[in-house]
Amino acid sequence: MLTKSQGKKLLKLARKAIESYLYVKELKYAKEQKEFKEKQGVFVTIYKAGKLRGCIGFPYPTMPLAEAIVEAARAAAFSDRRFEPVEREEFSKIKIEISILTVPKEIFVKGLAMTKEIKIGEDGLIIQHSGFSGLLLPQVAKEMKWNASEFLQGTCTKARLPADYWLKPECHVFKFQAQIFKEKAKARAKKTIKKTKKKKPKKKKKIN
């Protein structure tokens, strides 16, 4: 498990990776490469105004975490085919979320009993069959308010398979967990308005 401090470092690295690509700058991250050299799966999700702006990652631990963050961040920003590449004018408006994945494990229980093996809000899913593959992160089911069956159907759809294909014995279903770190929205500075007391007019002394 990573600490909150490490999560912040990785979020900063993801933002630096996007920024360096946008502004054609050299990305220096030797410190992060030293600290995050263990291989781990990762996804980077980008939001703008609360809406999805890009999401790409690596479900399996194929490269050191620091490098995986850089690659996934740039891919989410510039290579997600569902969206136009992020532009310079948008950079300050996007929010980044990273999901550090455990190694996916196959669910060998088949049929309707499979739903009992899935914990909503904790498990993410991967479905694979005959070259088709789809992945949904754990937070998706929670956001969509799906039950386990609906989550399986949604993952089948992501894999471009019929929604009920998870019931087929030949379909391979994997589950994984994720540690999630999000950028916080910047707090707006509150303007303090000093209340000025109205001065009471001085009473004129009566002259007899």
In this prediction, residue 199 carries a pLDDT of 54
Where does the chain hold its CATH 3.30.700.20 domain(s)?
1-101
Looking at the predicted structure, is the pLDDT value of residue 105 above 80?
Answer: yes
pLDDT in tens, 110-134: 999 999 999 999 999 999 999 999 9
H-only helix segments in 26-147? 30-35, 65-78, 138-144
Residue 185: pLDDT band (50, 70, 90) is confident
For residue 79, give the 3-state DSSP assignment.
coil
CATH says 103-180 is which class?
Answer: alpha beta
Q: Render pLDDT for 44-87 as a digit per residue (tens, 0 to 9).
A: 999 999 999 999 999 999 999 999 999 999 999 999 999 999 99
Average pLDDT over residues 14-35: 97
C-alpha closest to that of 141 among 167, 122, 117, 165: 122
From-to residues of CATH 3.30.1490.150 in the chain: 103-180
Task: Look up residue 136 and give its DSSP letter.
Answer: E
| CA 28 – CA 72 distance, rounded (Å) | 17
Query: Which carries the bigger pLDDT value, residue 203 or residue 106?
Result: 106
Strand extents, DSSP E, the chain = 41-48, 51-58, 94-101, 105-106, 123-129, 132-136, 172-182
More confident site: 184 or 168: 168
Cα separation, 178 vs 181, in Å, equals 10
The answer to whether 158 touches 191, Cβ cutoff 8 Å, is no
pTM of the shown model: 0.85
| 196: Cα within 13 Å, side-chain hemisphere | 2
Q: pLDDT at residue 165 above 90?
A: yes
In whole angstroms, give the CA distance from residue 151 to residue 82.
Answer: 21
CATH homologous superfamily for 1-101? Answer: Hypothetical protein ph0010; domain 1 (3.30.700.20)
For 13-52, give one letter per residue: b (16+ CB within 10 A) or e.
bbbbbbebbbeeeeeebeebeeebeeebbbbbbbbeeeee
Q: How far apart are CA 141 and CA 145, in angstroms?
A: 6
